[in-house]
């Protein structure tokens, strides 16, 4: 799959860090460093603009190292970038730690994973097929 990209930042293009990586690391592109206070969230720009082929989406996901070491994650994870969106990619970061976190331009802040998508076609009905699970939800299939 080929994806057209405009990079208005001074950062390298997103890249897979290993040959089997699912996600491409994306970096902050900000005029000056910013801080995330505990429980604070901010939209961090990347300087990247994509043209994703129809039938695909890009998912914005947290970086596991930032989450484990610093309590920093993507708030609406995974965030979806639709194939028809042409604006700048932004990442909503939140600080779940008790420490102030500093973000500098060029820092790896999230990752992109591309996935195929299907659009549903609704048909209305008066009943649904029965299943063993039925209406059980919210932990109903867990330990008894």
Q: In tens digits, what is the pLDDT along the chain, a chain of 144 residues?
A: 999 999 999 999 999 999 999 999 999 999 999 999 999 999 999 999 999 999 999 999 999 999 999 999 999 999 999 999 999 999 999 999 999 999 999 999 999 999 999 999 999 999 999 998 888 787 777 665
Q: What's the pTM value of the predicted model, to 2 decimals?
A: 0.88
Domains assigned to the chain: 4-116 (2.70.40.10)
- Which pair of tokens denotes residue 134? 């039925």
**Cβ within 8 Å of residue 5, ≥6 positions away:** 13, 14, 48, 49, 50, 51
**Cβ within 8 Å of residue 67, ≥6 positions away:** 73
Give the span between the Cα atoms of 101 and 104, in whole angstroms. Answer: 10
pLDDT for the residue numbered 125: 96
Cα distance between the two ends of the chain:
45
Cross-strand partners of 24: 112
């Amino acid at each position: 799959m080929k994806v057209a990209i405009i990079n208005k930042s001074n950062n390298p293009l997103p890249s897979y860090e290993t040959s089997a990586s699912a996600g491409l690391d994306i970096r902050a592109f900000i005029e000056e460093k910013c801080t995330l206070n505990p429980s604070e969230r901010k939209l961090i720009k990347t300087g990247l603009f994509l043209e994703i082929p129809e039938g695909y989406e890009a998912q914005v996901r947290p970086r596991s190292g930032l989450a484990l070491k610093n309590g920093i994650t993507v708030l609406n994870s995974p965030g979806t970038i639709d194939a028809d969106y042409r604006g700048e990619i932004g990442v909503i970061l939140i600080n779940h730690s008790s420490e102030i976190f500093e973000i500098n331009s060029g820092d790896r802040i999230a990752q992109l994973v591309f996935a195929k998508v299907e659009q549903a076609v609704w048909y209305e009905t008066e009943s649904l097929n029965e299943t063993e699970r039925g209406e059980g939800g919210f932990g109903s299939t867990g330990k008894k």
